Each structure stands twice: as C-alpha cells, then as structure tokens.
Structure 1
Amino acid sequence: MQETRLDIARIRAVRRLIDPIFLDSPLYRCEALEPDLGCTLSIKLETANPVRCFKARGTEVVTSLLAGDGPRSVVCASAGNLGQALAWSGRRRGLDVTVVASRFATAAKLDRIRALDARLELVDGDHEMARERAADIALRDGIRLVEDSLDIETCEGAATIGLELVAATPSFDAVLIALGGGALATGVGHVVKAMAPEAEVICVQPLGAPAMTHSWHRRRVVTTDSTDTIADGVAGRRPIPAVLDDLLLVADDAVLVQETSIIAGMRMLLDHAGLVVEPSAALGVAAVLEDRDRFAGRHVVTIVCGSNVDMDAYHRWVGATPLPRSWSPS
C-alpha cells in the first residue's frame, strides 16, 4: 500500500493514551438483521461510552499530547459529536475547551457540550461556517485549533477501531464506514488495508451531502454549495485535500444512499438490534439495503458510530409502523 499520513506503529502506541472506557467496544454478529439484509452482518458498536460516539478516541489522543506539552486552551468546530468528545477529554485533563457549532445543530448535542463545561459559540450558518469561525478564534487567541480529520491524531485515534476489528474478526469481506470529514474512514481503512487487505473498505455518505464521495470518484476535491440530509454528523461541503489523498489510498469504493434508506436502517437497528442510533450510524445498513445483490452471502461489518440524536426528530423519522420485510428504497 502507498503511504498515507497514518502509521500502524503510532496507532498501536496511541491506544495507550485513550481512556480504556472508549476501547474494545462491542463487536458482535447481529443475526436478527440478516434475513432482511441477505448477508452476514457484524456490528462494531461505538456508542457504549460517555459521549456515545467514536470521536473521543481521537480527542483523547489530542488532549493527552496537549496536557503533556502544549497550549491549555483548544477550540474546534463541530456538528456536535466532536465537540462533546473534546469537551469530555479536555475537562478530564484541565484544558479550556471552546466549541463552535451551527445554531441549527442537534439540540441534544449542543446541550451535552454545555453540560461538559465547554464554552459554546453558535454561528448562523452550517458546519463550514463554524470551521471558519473556529479558525478565527484560534488565530485571535493563539490557542490550539483541533481540526477533525486534518489533525492526524483524530484519524489515528479512530484507527484503533480498526485494530480491534481485525484482531477480533480475522475474516470478513467488507467494512462499511460512514464518511464525513474522513477521520473514521481513513483511520479504519488504513488499518484494514494494512492488516486485512482482502477485505473491501466501502465508505457511505448521504446523497444530500456528497462532497467527499464525489471527490473520491473524481480524485480531486469537489465542493458543494449546500447539504440536505438528516445525517448531520457527515454533512460537510468542503473536503480537506490531505484527507482525500489518504482516502484515495485506503477506500475501495464510496457510495451514496437515500434519506429513506437511512431512516429504514435506523428503524431496522431499533427493531432488530435494540439500538437507538443517529442517522450517520445507519449509513452502513442503508448501503446494504440499496444494493443487496452486492453483499449477498458475504460477511459485512458496519461501524455504528454514534447515538446522539434528538429524540423528537428520531420519533418523527422512525415512526411507529414496522417496516415490511419486503421493504426496498423508492
């Protein structure tokens, strides 16, 4: 494999910096989902931790290094999950944390950031505007800007998921990974390609937020003017060139899925696995629903990456009527 920015030896080393509460997350075969999906499905569950998402694996690495020798104040832009994770990790190490987010972000995520003692600044725009504001604050105040996916610590922290996956499941045919900024996809993808190269690394993004997927297919950065998806955790418009370069080396495919498929995936995870998940976490199941023939008879792993969801919205999306076994996307 060509060189990415990531390194297996460093990934193994940073595991020691991460609070054990975020490590060795559950990995299990979910047989109840298999009749509807037509494949063997294993779930890597990244929601059973204090911030209910995978992001703290990266923020634990960032803040550990800063606590040892670095600025005592940090700022990030977040759709919600990174902000919670940085607030949790920063509070644990005595750092001052500022999170910039869109005021239209999921209210439950914003409330949790405040509860974790971070300073929260809201902007009247989307995540890209929050990124710009966070960069301005870092420059103005001379503090550390944590940029998810660009900062290698966030990618290598996420990559520890891949180490656990490969160690526990030595034989699988494909791993389906939610694709947003790219930390999860490049991190896990790097480990899988290095240690289980026969497995496909397939990234999944909503049709309403396709910038990184279009960039992967065209092998250059493609931006969009807006996003339109309930999967707020992956709704970026401006891919980071260095992250795309890594993704081009570790991903075998990048696919887009419909909103109806995401909602169906959320409902199936509730009905058959007892899991309440945010839309981004259902992208892998949505990808199987939209292309059953591709995955038929194969062993597929999907990373359930977050469960920070506004429950009122969740109930509106998922509803109360069971999905028919013959369901297919419109």
Structure 2
Amino acid sequence: MDRIRAARRVIDPVCLATPLFRSGGLEQGLGCAVSVKLETANPVRSFKARGAEVVASGLAEHGRRALVCASAGNLGQALAWSGRARGIDVTVVASRSAPAAKLERIRALGAGLEVVDGDFEAARERAAALALSDGVRLVEDSLDIETCEGAATIGLELVDAAVPFDAVLIALGGGALATGVGHVVKTLVPAVEVICVQPLGAPAMTRSWRRRSVVTTDSTDTIADGVAGRYPIPAVLDDLLLVADDAVLVEEASIVAGMRMLLDAAGLVVEPSAALGVAAILEDRDRFAGRHVVTIVCGSNVDPDAYRRWVGAVPAPGT
C-alpha cells in the first residue's frame, strides 16, 4: 500500500482523479445501482496511463533513456506519451492485427513502432528479443510491478470517494488492473466483491484462476483485443488468486450490447474491453439486483469502422 500511495504522487495530475459518477441510464437498463469509473478521461484514453507514468518516472530518475514493450495498443500509447515528456525513446512492438487507430496513435505520439505477424504473444517475444539485443529496459505489462501499482491508484480513488459500493467489475487481461485495484479494495474495504471479467473467446486467465494454476490457450477469438492474451504470467496469477472473489466469462454479443448501452445510456464511446463489466451484469442480472456496482471503463481507443459495425454508430473524430 505504501508503494501504491507513492505511485499516486508521481503520476501526472491529468491521469489522476478520473470521474466517478452514478449513471441513471445504466441503472434503469441494468436493474442495479451503477457507478462508472471513467479511466478514458486522460490524454491516452486508457487506464494504462497510470502505470506508464510510474514506469517512465522511475526510468528517468535513474537516467535510463530507452525502453521497449509489446502492446495491443493502449500500453504503447501510454508509454509513448509518458516517455516523450521525459525524453525517453520508446519502441513498441505490436501485432499486425492490432486496431489501426491504436497503431496510428502510437506513431503520432513519437514512439518507434514495429509490427509483427501473429498475435500479442508473438509481439511479446519480439519485444523481449529487441530488449536483449539493444540492452534497453523491457516493460512487460502486469509482470512489471509498476504497471500494477499505477493501476492500483484507481482503487485508492474508489475508496477515497467514500461512496459505498458492493462490488467492482474489472476487465481481466494480463492482470495489472485486476490485481492492482483488487489489492487496494481487499485491503481497505474487504467486504466489497472483486469480480474479474474476461471474454469467452480469450479465457486463459479466468481458466487459470479457476484451476489455481496456469492454463494457456492456442488462440483467441474476441473483439476485445486489449484483453486477448493466451499465456498468463504465473506471478500475476498468484496475485490474482489473493484478491479476486470471482472471475467470469462473457459472450461477444454481451460485449457489443454493453458497448451500445454505454453509448445510449451514458454517452460513452468505449472499446470492447471497457464494456466487459456491463456485459457481466447483462448476463447475470439477478446476481447484481439491488446492489451498487462499480464498473471501470478502462479504454476508449476504438477503430471507428469497427465500432460502426459493432454498435451501429460512428464515434466523432478524436473521440
């Protein structure tokens, strides 16, 4: 907790104190009290700005001027933004299948970008090879504790808001968000239920949590690219087992319905990963009826053409 509080002190103020608000529109459609933690209200439109700030601050403090990471898009943008402010050269390795809008934004923020064939795991292998050959810092989301501590500052803000809630729904991918927020919640308000949500088409971490040992998958099949990993990190799973009360899988149709509901009821354009919490409520309304649920809207970097296909509306440029 001391390290998480210290992380909050080094994060750029524009990435802190994101809005937390009750959404009457969502509540009417979902049958429970819903508060939205809007992690898209920062320059890179993703919660990953918090962890990136902690990483970049530490590198700059120790005089290191280069890093490389693998990213599905959001971490790369966040590190590019944080690195640019501190004179750190950032190289991002991404899969060719990553959303074009995310890749374009990485370039626009001044990072070097290498695109590889295959999925995120192929990008992760290439990033590790580059870091070794070039002798620079490899930043691995969720494995590097700074990324978890940055995400955990969201938990501090939820608790500090002093608005009683019964459960928090957290998108589950590599695990930084879930383990970070989960640790704070379970330390400070242990009665609150920590529920992780993952797509049925990318279930590796959820299956691992259920089995209490690492389960890998051969492939992923989901529109939620930000959480589509196949190889859970053992140390991250160990942390998740300590803080998660449940891990659930949701259908693709529910993710799309959640995106549409966030647009129609709350005026929010979000990427699929950010709709996982709403999707979980849609699939199990009885579980949440009469409760106050917080859902973390974790990112809004979505390709406009894909969004139109899924939701039937086009986000405005720059949304």
Report what 1:48 is aligned to: 41
Question: Does 1:173 pair with 2:166?
Answer: yes
Amino acid at match of 2:158: L
Amino acid at match of 1:109: K
Deviation digits for residues 264-296 of structure 1 (CA, Å, limit 9, x no counterpart): 000000000000000000000000000000000
Report what 2:25 is aligned to: 32
Q: Secondary structure at the match of 1:269?
A: helix
Report what 2:121 is aligned to: 128
Please, which of 270, 273, 297 is the counterpart of residue 277 of structure 1? Answer: 270
Q: Secondary structure at the match of 1:176?
A: strand
Report what 2:57 is aligned to: 64
Residue 48 of structure 1 deviates from its aligned partner by: 1.0
Q: Secondary structure at the match of 2:128?
A: helix
Residue range with higher mean Cα deviation, 165-174 or 272-281: 165-174
Matches within 5 A, 1:304-323: 304-319=297-312
Aligned 8 A contact 1:75 1:145 in 2: yes
Aligned 8 A contact 1:170 1:196 in 2: no
Report what 1:323 is aligned to: none
Residue 55 of structure 1 deviates from its aligned partner by: 0.2
Aligned 8 A contact 1:22 1:57 in 2: yes
Amino acid at match of 1:262: I
Report what 1:76 is aligned to: 69
Q: Secondary structure at the match of 1:172?
A: coil
Question: Does 1:201 pair with 2:197?
Answer: no
Cα distance in 1, alignment partners of residues 63 and 201 from structure 2: 38
Aligned 8 A contact 1:33 1:273 in 2: yes
Cα distance in 2, alignment partners of residues 266 and 70 from structure 1: 42
Question: Does 1:94 pair with 2:87?
Answer: yes
Amino acid at match of 1:11: I
Aligned 8 A contact 1:56 1:82 in 2: yes
Q: How many residues were matched structurally?
A: 313
Unpaired runs of 5+ residues, structure 2, are: 314-319
Question: Does 1:143 pair with 2:136?
Answer: yes
Cα distance in 1, alignment partners of residues 96 and 177 from structure 2: 25
Deviation digits for residues 301-324 of structure 1 (CA, Å, limit 9, x no counterpart): 00000000001100100126xxxx
Unpaired runs of 5+ residues, structure 1, are: 1-7, 321-330
Amino acid at match of 2:61: G
Amino acid at match of 1:100: V
Cα distance in 1, alignment partners of residues 106 and 29 from structure 2: 37
Residue 70 of structure 1 deviates from its aligned partner by: 4.3
Deviation digits for residues 81-119 of structure 1 (CA, Å, limit 9, x no counterpart): 000000000000000000000011000000000001100
Amino acid at match of 1:99: V
Residue 35 of structure 1 deviates from its aligned partner by: 1.7
Report what 1:326 is aligned to: none
Aligned 8 A contact 1:47 1:53 in 2: yes
Q: Secondary structure at the match of 2:286?
A: helix
Q: Secondary structure at the match of 1:239?
A: coil
Aligned 8 A contact 1:166 1:195 in 2: yes
Residue 14 of structure 1 deviates from its aligned partner by: 1.1
The Cα RMSD (Å) is 0.7
Given the two structures, how large is their TM-score scaled by the length of structure 2?
0.97
Question: Does 1:21 pair with 2:2?
Answer: no
Cα distance in 1, alignment partners of residues 189 and 130 from structure 2: 41
4+ residue segments displaced more than 3 Å: none
Report what 1:152 is aligned to: 145
Deviation digits for residues 43-69 of structure 1 (CA, Å, limit 9, x no counterpart): 000001100000010010001010010
Cα distance in 1, alignment partners of residues 142 and 63 from structure 2: 20
Report what 2:210 is aligned to: 217
Please, which of 248, 253, 260 is the counterpart of residue 255 of structure 1? Answer: 248
Q: Secondary structure at the match of 1:162?
A: helix
Report what 2:317 is aligned to: none
Given the two structures, how large is their TM-score scaled by the length of structure 1?
0.94
Residue 170 of structure 1 deviates from its aligned partner by: 4.2
Amino acid at match of 1:136: A
Residue 169 of structure 1 deviates from its aligned partner by: 3.6
